[in-house]
Amino acid sequence: MTNILITGMSGSGKSSALAELARRGHRTVDTDSDEWCEWVTVTGQDGPPERDWIWREDRLAALLEGRQDGHLFVADCKSNQGKFYDRFLAVVLLTAPVEVLRGRVMARENNPYGKSAEEWAQILDNVATVEPLLRRSASHVIRTDRPLSEVGDQLEAAAGFTGP
């Protein structure tokens, strides 16, 4: 099996990309749930303890080590994802202009995160501080302010998919 990580900021199109890939017959897993993630308390060097929503490493390892045919597209953005980069053929960063992210976050109905002023400020901070780190570690960067079919094509190309 070929594992591909799709990562990016809130509103970058990870869920939509997974839906498009699933529609094309690929195996997909959105790991942003209690099944795959847990809250932990992290103590920083310069500040108070903070809560962080990270991958359950044992569960993600089992998912990635499962022996099945085809491609597995996994989507999320977690602070501990770098521990798993060696298990992915590709790490794909999805990105879009801030105004596109804002529109998507405000319009989505399946995830309330980002709608409050405080959460939107956190997203903007992540775009400024986290996205550049993701960009440096990504094997591919895909802009998602284009048709979803094109994003799907680019994700398949990143996975080396050449058709049925």
pLDDT tens digit sequence for 69-99: 889 999 999 999 999 999 999 999 999 999 9
Q: Are 93 and 13 contacting, i.e. CB atoms less than 8 angstroms apart?
A: no
Average pLDDT for 118-133 = 96
- Class of CATH domain 2-158: alpha beta
How many other CB atoms are there within 10 angstroms of residue 164's CB atom? 5
Beta strand pairing status for 27-30 and 71-75?
parallel
Q: What is the pTM of this model?
A: 0.94
Structure tokens at 116: 């409050």
